[in-house]
Amino acid sequence: MTEVILSVEDLRVSFPTPNGELSAVRGVSFSVKEGQVFGIVGESGCGKTVTGRAIMRLVPSPGKITGSRIQYRHSDILNCAESDMRALRGRRIAMVFQDPSAALNPLFTIGAQISAIIRQHRIATGKAVRLRAIDLLAELELPSPTEIFDSYPHQLSGGMQQRVMLSMALAAEPDLIIADEATTALDVTIQAQILELLSKLQRERGLTLIFITHDLGLVAEICDHIAVLYMGKIVEEGNPNSIFHSTRHPYTKGLLAALPGSQTLGKSLKVIPGSVPSSTTQFTGCSFANRCESVIADCHMVEPADVLFSADHRVACHLYSDQLVTGPIR
């Protein structure tokens, strides 16, 4: 049986604002198995990035994590000392951030930034550091890796910057990589190249990957398990076949209906009615009720429980409340 490498239980992240407490993540639970490509998908503002940052314990102040448990192998992420967490970041868990132009330091060369990670985690020393960094750039299929090593971020295209970010994530040889919207700012051709490269690296290195995106089409290409987030909660979770061909939740159905494809040529794409509510909104029932075309009375009054349809397909929706109720997929 494949080992669970990461377990997240009842993750809750909030931020104080002048208009009240903003609940970015509202009780998210999931498990990621070793070697898995786990997709987290949903509209902008649904809590995807905050979930990824919470796993890294990088939620920006004054944000706070409450009532949660995050377990990476034998490490209790939320309760370990900061010195232990610094050792985990990069060395065991790495994150590729959404905007490489903002994440890369414009004052230092690419080589200096990769080398700093290699030295920090003692992957190599002396002259071997430079060689290791250049090898990483070559592995990420960057042209003229020696020239890239001596270049500054502004001298590279967006696609090249993203490959550099991936090389930095791999520099300390982690087990788990969290890729947050790693292809969002790229054109379709470069996006496809990055996805292919991620898949290749995952296979060859045996990596576990959490792939965060707003694009269901992308998760269909790369992921073998998918969690759909809405307003900081998982509303549906399962393997790609369950999510795409046995879709249960009205929100997931809406996202799929909005995807462009051959059947939509010459037609207007379907949109989900309304817009995502403010994260400061307090709900007594389902957070999707005001946008749902299948809403029933219970949706406004009671928060839906998880319903398990198969060993790896669950949904939180009152339309299936007569089914067996259970907890998260393990």
Question: What would the DSSP string read from start to end of 4-53?
Answer: EEEEEEEEEEEEEETTEEEEEEEEEEEEEETT-EEEEE-STTSSHHHHHH
Strand-strand pairing, 37-41 and 93-96: unpaired
* Whole-number Å distance between alpha carbons of 172 and 153: 21
Determine, yes or no, domain membership for 325.
no
Taking the model in full, what pTM does it have? 0.91
| Domain final residue, candidates 154, 173, 192 | 173
Determine, yes or no, domain membership for 130.
yes
- State the pLDDT at residue 262: 46
Determine, yes or no, domain membership for 330.
no
Determine, yes or no, domain membership for 185.
yes
* Whole-number Å distance between alpha carbons of 153 and 6: 33
- Residue 218 sits in the same domain as residue 256: yes
3-state secondary structure 184-246: CCCCHHHHHHHHHHHHHHHHHHCCEEEEEECCHHHHHHHCCEEEEEECCEEEEEECHHHHHHC
Edge-to-edge strand ranges of the sheet holding 306-310: 93-96, 176-180, 208-213, 37-41, 225-230, 233-238, 313-316, 306-310
- Residue 181 sits in the same domain as residue 267: yes
Determine, yes or no, domain membership for 327.
no
The answer to whether 146 touches 131, Cβ cutoff 8 Å, is no
CA proximity to 251, closest of 324, 298, 319: 319
User: What DSSP string runs through 275-309?
Assistant: -PPPTT---SS-TTGGG-TT--GGGGTSPPPEEEE
For the chain (length 330 residues), average pLDDT per consecutive 10? 90 92 93 96 91 94 89 93 90 90 94 95 92 95 95 94 94 94 82 89 93 91 94 95 94 89 63 81 87 92 90 91 62
The DSSP output letter for 118 is H
Give first-to-last CA distance, the chain, whole Å.
12
- Residue 22 sits in the same domain as residue 147: no
Domain that holds residue 169: 93-173
User: What DSSP string runs through 47-58?
Assistant: SHHHHHHHHTT-
| Domain final residue, candidates 173, 198, 214 | 173
- State the pLDDT at residue 99: 86
- Residue 116 sits in the same domain as residue 151: yes
* Whole-number Å distance between alpha carbons of 329 and 313: 7
* Whole-number Å distance between alpha carbons of 256 and 227: 14
User: What DSSP string runs through 64-78?
Assistant: EEES-EEEETTEETT
CA proximity to 315, closest of 323, 306, 326: 306
